[in-house]
Structure 1
Amino acid sequence: MSVVIFVAMVAALLLLRVNVVLVLAAATAYIHLYFASGSALEFLAQDIWFAIDREVLLSIPMFIIAGAVMTRGTIAARLIRVMSALTAPVPGGLAIAAVLSCAVFAAISGSSIVTMLAVGSIMYPALIQEGYDRNFSLGLMCSAGTLGIIIPPSIPMILYGIMTETSITDLFVAGILPGLLLAALFCAYGLWVNRGRAVRPWDLREIATAIRDGVWALLMPVILLGGIYSGYYTPTEAAAVSLVYALVIELLVHREMRPRDYVVVVYDTTRLLGTLLPLLAIAGSLNTVLDYEGVPREAARFLAATLHDPWLQVVGINLLLLAIGCFMDIGSAILILAPLLLPTVQQIGLDPVHFGVVMIMNLEIGYLTPPVGINLFIAMVAFKESFGRIVVSVLPFIALMLVALVLVILIPDLALFLVQAGR
């Protein structure tokens, strides 16, 4: 009877469109009271405290604020100018410049939405003005924005590392080659689709001017990632470095951002964290009680008993993640599913770092799939296009992302080679 009441309660809250934080809180409280042996409601408060009492959580708001500062300032625009100047002689050069700009900006923002808005708000009108196909341009900007969660630093990787106690630095390193592979596939597709377009020769003066004006922006990913991988500072310290660097460059060097703009950025970030951090805290409590009750172990046994071949289990897990990505945002999915699935994939023989990259690549596709594809809805507002048109535009890019996902699954060294080389 308790199970029926639990399912009915969750279903009713979801149908009433209650905030996901409140749904998860109610579900977790019910589990503590009626399912967990020897538990009590006060354990929920204890678990919440333990979940948020982590230094690495400080990196999330700082990366978000740093990305927003660079979007409001001119760092993003200067990066785009450099990439556009360098790709001018290539057919479809502006499309390739858009992908490269997203890749570089991803390396300093850690967010898909920030990357898409920062680069797309400039590049999408430019692509249309240059005569690029509207559907191609839409799909390109929506899809290239997702590089922000696979190319390090990545906020979803930080969440996965927290929930599974996996090295965040290793996850960052593991995301480099898969991220570059995905960017290369996007560039190759852009080159093929626009292979008949006219090109213009390199303008050495324009290249020199763009690099001179964008030198501080170009140095940022070098300083940020170089410090992490050299061990000079931790991912949390890197987030502080990125924020301070962005503020110094935008306020004192470029001087195209005002202090009151920073107040707006902090306010917007605070509103975002008002959803993310409670979700993280409650998910931590849920994961604690599920682990105590042995749910991950039982799930692993069930999967092994149902699908005897390890490769079938891998396929089953990936299909599950792809389906979940269609209905749940990536943060919620990682917080709930990562600790639940990790024992299963370890039993199969997958490395936790490799699985982290695979999981994020699966959920990354969810940014582009209805009904909850967040990049689709952001693009509707940012680019003023219909939802249906945007969905159609991303289909070729989803196919490319699936190709990259399969390659990373079949060739673990794409994720692990740099990690092992650095040890």
Structure 2
Amino acid sequence: MSALLLVALVLGLLVLRQPVVVILGAVTAYCYAVIGDGEIGWIIVDAWEAANRELLLSIPLYVLAGNIMSRGAMATRLIRVSQALTAPVPGGLAIATVLSCALFAAVSGSGTVTLLAIGAVMYPALVDAGYPRSFALGLLCAGGTLGIIIPPSIPLILYGVMTQTSVTGLFIAGIGPGLLLVTLLVAYSLARYGRIRTGAWQRQEIRAALKSGVWSLFMPVLILGGIYSGYFTATESAAVAVVYAVLVETLIHRQLGLRDLYAVTGETVRLLGALFPVLMLALSLNMFLTYEQLPETLVRSMSAWIDSPTMFLVLTNGLLLLVGCLVDIGSAILILAPLLQPLAVAQGIDPIH
């Protein structure tokens, strides 16, 4: 009966078009009050205990670093390098767009920030070069998703936090799929609009672009190299990214002042203000589910229906496709990761997979 009322509560809130934070808050409160021992106050205690992790600091720091680069000159200089190197290639501007998204994703950790930073420059450039508006929008949206998989990735950090999985291992695992997606996007661009040319190689422009973009190009080397060498943790690398971006934009490029940094910080805080309440509630709900041994119960129940890893992966991909049409990736990870990860382990699938 309690489970049916919980489902009815969720469906009712969905019909009323309530935001994820309201739905998750109502579900968490219901679980503690009705299914648990009735002490709703434990929500705050459990949320604080679960969120008291150094790793969570990396999320706002990566977003702040990406916003600083977007507001300053580092993003545009990355784009200039990509354009200079791909100018003579048929469909070169589309390729430059994909490469710019990949490079920016490798330092910002956010698909949204990547899309905003690269899209503001490359969308009008693609349209002016003769690419259809629909293709330009599709390419930028697809390129923006590279920030989800190419490390350092905020969604990967969220998954690591919710499932107690090594974030460094997740970052390493994201390299191959990220490069594969870049290759597929480039191949599709060439197949569809490879006839569109944008110019010729100009040694002077290549030299100038590399010279102006050297500080931007060094940033992913510094961040990812520090993580993979073991010199930085994920949180330390995020702090280094912020300090590096501030120093480059204020002292070398001289594009940002104190007022600009204040404005960028305010934008970052407002953006994260929508994420962290959801994160706190999700962590509290995750602890409740662990107390009640729901993941173990779910594994025992689903084992009778899922008899192979292949079936599990097919069903999981179908579920994620459906959920992705309804909620953002961060909310989906916070809600589903603690439930799906034990099922994957029971099927012999590595949590990083």
Instruction: Give TM-score, length-normalised by structure 2.
Output: 0.96
Does the 8 Å CA contact 1:28/1:282 hold for their aligned counterparts? yes
Q: Distance in 2 between matches of 1:134 and 1:65?
A: 30
Taking only the aligned residue pairs, the percentage that are identical comes to 55
Per-residue deviation, 1:69: 0.6
1:196-345 superposed matches below 5 A: 196-198=195-197, 200-345=199-344
Are the counterparts in 2 of residues 105 and 115 from structure 1 also a CA contact under 8 Å? yes
Measured against aligned partners, the alpha-carbon deviations of 1:347-376 in whole angstroms (never above 9, x if no partner) come to 11111111xxxxxxxxxxxxxxxxxxxxxx
Partner Cα separation in structure 2 for residue 219 and residue 292 of structure 1: 46
Contact 1:303 1:313 in 2 (8 A): no
- Does the CA contact (< 8 Å) of 2:130 and 2:196 recur in 1? no
Q: Which runs of 5+ in 1 are unaligned?
A: 355-423
Post-superposition CA distance 1:37-67 (Å, at most 9, x none): x452222121111121111111111111111
Cα distance in 2, alignment partners of residues 169 and 52 from structure 1: 19
Which AA in structure 1 matches 2:19?
N
In structure 2, distance between residues paired with 1:295 and 1:188: 45
- Structure 2 gaps of 5+ residues are none
- 8 Å CA contact 2:111, 2:144 repeated in 1: yes
Match of 2:32, SS state, is helix
Q: Which amino acid aligns with 1:10?
A: V
Question: What is the match of residue 27 of structure 1?
Answer: 27
1:102-149 residue CA offsets vs partner (Å, 9 max, x unmatched): 000000000011101101110110011111122211110111011011
Q: Which residue of 1 aligns with 2:117?
A: 118
- For residue 22 of structure 1, report the CA deviation from its aligned partner: 2.3
Alpha-carbon distance between aligned partners in 2 of 1:4 and 1:229, rounded to the nearest angstrom: 47
Q: Give the match for residue 57 of structure 1.
A: 56
In 1, are the aligned partners of 2:93 and 2:198 still within 8 Å (CA)? no
**Structure 1 residues 345 and 2, CA gap change in structure 2 (3 angstroms):** closer
Q: Which moved more, 1:295-304 or 1:180-189?
A: 295-304
Deviates more, 1:295-304 or 1:146-155: 295-304
Q: Distance in 1 between matches of 2:189 and 2:2?
A: 54
TM superposition score normalised by structure 1: 0.81
CA RMSD of aligned residues (A): 1.4
- Render the CA deviation track for 1:172-213: whole Å, top value 9, x for unaligned: 111011001001100011111122234533111100000001
Letter of the structure 2 residue corresponding to residue 82 of structure 1: V
- The answer to whether structure 1 residue 164 and structure 2 residue 163 are counterparts is yes
Deviates more, 1:169-178 or 1:16-25: 16-25
Q: Could you tell me how far apart the structure 2 residues matched to 1:140 and 1:342 are?
A: 31
For the pair 1:9 / 2:9, whether they are aligned, the reply is yes
- 8 Å contact 2:308–2:347 — kept in the other structure? no
Range with bigger deviation, 214-223 or 16-25: 16-25
Specify the alignment match of 1:174 in structure 2. Answer: 173
Higher mean C-alpha deviation, range 307-316 or range 337-346: 307-316
**What residue in structure 2 maps to residue 405 of structure 1?**
none
| Alignment CA distance shift 1:50-1:207 (3 Å) | same
